């Protein structure tokens, strides 16, 4: 590991710890300013699904994109945490028996295994709802204009036109395999939409002008494609102990991936190309965008 990647991975850990602290506060038994004591079992299931030592790559993107514009730190953390709540809810619901039927997530029992199906469904619903609560609540460091823009952007990225719609296409894909354009569309919605939003949200938090915001959104688009390609590569090249979850499942179910269509070597070349394209988009920001450049490389080369 060279100095740059060592420093990068230290920064990633630091940001993950910062987000973990925010998530811990958001999921405390009696949060500040609320009289109600939260139903203990439901809260425990939400905590199980969220406070699990994830890399927090989406909040990391929000925070580092916001830092380009010297944004308010509290506001960036709140926005990153909201996005992570959405990501975690989607994992809980995706793991359900009716969906991917996974029993392990990061080497631990999934929420419906540790609790029960009804509680896992409700925990997901509650986390999804909490994300919008966090973005819109008073005193989160955001003015009303940015609150409205962030809520709208998150709802678009997570809903039927984004992540949830992608998951819907994924269910259909188990019945009839999509062609290349279909695979790209599915992945761009299912995985890409939240990564794209992460980068755009950082720009919104930082009050970036429209051109800058659009640039970061396109950067997010590129690394979303890279993220999915790296994931598909890992699915064929790694084993379950490295991933902390079942692997090779996509291929086993006959779901198409670009790696499956074009092979491992093509995918590695394409990954390099995507990282290059992503970095070109960051040129106007000079060295203020160095961390985002490193993130693009990290996403393309990750091993778990």
- Judged by phi (left if over 0) then psi (alpha if -120 to 50, else beta), residue 25 lies in alpha
Q: What's the closest the beta carbon of residue 124 comes to its own copies, in angstroms?
A: 7
95 CB-side CA count, 13 A: 30
Q: What's the closest the beta carbon of residue 232 comes to its own copies, in angstroms?
A: 21
Q: Where do contacts with its own copies occur on this chain (CB under 8 A)?
A: 34, 36, 38-39, 41-43, 46, 89, 93, 96, 98-99, 116-119, 121-122, 124-126, 128-130, 132-133, 135-138, 143-145, 147-149, 151-152, 154-156, 158-161, 164-165, 167-169, 171-172, 189
Residues 217 and 199: beta-carbon distance below 8 Å: yes
Per DSSP, the three-state class of 210 is helix
Q: What's the closest the beta carbon of residue 196 comes to its own copies, in angstroms?
A: 13
Q: Which is nearer to its own copies, 118 or 261 (CB)?
A: 118
Q: Which is nearer to its own copies, 76 or 135 (CB)?
A: 135
Q: Which is nearer to its own copies, 207 or 237 (CB)?
A: 207
Residues 114 and 48: beta-carbon distance below 8 Å: yes
Query: How far separated are the first and last CA of the chain, in Å rounded?
Result: 16
Q: Which is nearer to its own copies, 156 or 238 (CB)?
A: 156
For the beta carbon of residue 197, count every other beta carbon within 10 angstroms: 29
Beta strand extents in 60-157 (DSSP E only): 104-105, 108-109
Q: What's the closest the beta carbon of residue 190 comes to its own copies, in angstroms?
A: 11
Q: What's the closest the beta carbon of residue 127 comes to its own copies, in angstroms?
A: 9
Residues 259 and 267: beta-carbon distance below 8 Å: yes
Q: Which is nearer to its own copies, 11 or 149 (CB)?
A: 149
């Amino acid at each position: 590991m060279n100095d740059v990647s060592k420093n990068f991975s230290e920064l990633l850990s630091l940001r993950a710890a910062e987000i973990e602290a925010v998530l811990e506060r958001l999921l405390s038994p009696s949060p500040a300013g609320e009289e109600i004591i939260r139903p203990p079992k439901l809260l425990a299931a939400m905590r199980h699904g969220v406070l699990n030592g994830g890399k927090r790559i989406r909040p990391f993107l929000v925070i580092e994109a916001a830092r380009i514009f010297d944004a308010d730190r509290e506001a960036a953390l709140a926005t990153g945490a909201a996005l992570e709540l959405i990501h975690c809810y989607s994992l809980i619901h995706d793991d359900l028996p009716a969906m991917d039927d996974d029993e392990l997530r990061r080497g631990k029992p999934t929420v419906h295994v540790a609790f029960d199906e009804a509680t896992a469904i409700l925990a997901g619903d509650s986390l999804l709802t909490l994300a919008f609560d966090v973005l819109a609540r008073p005193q989160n460091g955001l003015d009303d204009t940015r609150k409205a823009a962030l809520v709208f952007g998150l709802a678009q990225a997570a809903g039927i036109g984004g992540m949830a719609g992608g998951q819907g296409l994924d269910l259909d894909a188990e019945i009839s395999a999509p062609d290349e354009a279909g695979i790209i569309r599915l992945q761009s919605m299912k995985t890409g939409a939240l990564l794209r939003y992460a980068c755009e949200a950082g720009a919104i938090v930082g009050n970036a002008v429209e051109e800058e915001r659009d640039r970061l959104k396109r950067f997010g688009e590129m690394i979303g494609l890279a993220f999915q390609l790296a994931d598909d590569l890992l699915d064929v090249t790694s084993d379950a102990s490295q991933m902390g979850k079942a692997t090779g499942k996509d291929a086993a179910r006959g779901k198409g991936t670009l790696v499956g269509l074009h092979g491992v070597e093509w995918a590695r070349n394409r990954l390099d190309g995507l990282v290059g394209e992503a970095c070109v988009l960051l040129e106007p920001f000079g060295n203020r965008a160095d961390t985002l450049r490193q993130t693009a490389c990290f996403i393309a080369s990750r091993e778990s």
